[in-house]
Amino acid sequence: MSKIEDEVCKKMQARAETGLSKYGTTMERTDLTTLEWLTHAQEEVMDLTVYLEKLIQTHRGLRRDVCWWCAGKLNWQADHDKEDLMGEEGIVTHLHCTACNASVEYISQEEE
């Protein structure tokens, strides 16, 4: 196995020990119905989805200089008054991808 699988195995062992000390039972328990096991599994997947969304949003926030098309680095070019370009309050920010030459334009929107 790789170090990754080794680390996962260690964590599963630690988690089993935590479960035993916290709940006094193991996965060999027989007191839950199939439906209860399915419900537990569904709840774990729902939690996982929330954790993944959190990480996706955090990653996007940290990597705001990455081109959507090619993952190249975006360089800031200019900020303009939205009033001058569109006759509305706000800011228009222009970015340029150093890898694929894409132009990116962020346009602020009024809060509703």
Among 82, 92, 95, 97, binds Zn ion (CB under 5 A): 97
Q: How far apart are CA 19 and CA 29, in angstroms?
A: 12
C-alpha to C-alpha distance for 34 and 43, rounded to whole angstroms: 14
How many residues lie near Zn ion (CB under 5 A)? 8
Of residues 80, 90, 102, 104, which one binds Zn ion by CB under 5 A? 102
For residue 67, CA distances in Å to 56, 71, 72, 75, 93 come to: 16, 5, 5, 10, 14
Cα 24 to its chain centre, rounded Å, is 34
Whichever of 26 and 75 has its CB closer to Zn ion, that residue is 75
First-last CA distance in the chain:
53
- Among positions 20, 55, 70, 86, the unique one binding Zn ion when judged by CB under 5 A: 70
Using CB under 5 A as the binding rule, whether residue 66 contacts Zn ion is answered as no
| Site track for Zn ion across 7-46, x = CB under 5 A | ----------------------------------------
Which chain residues interact with Zn ion by CB under 5 A?
Answer: 67, 69-70, 72, 97, 99-100, 102
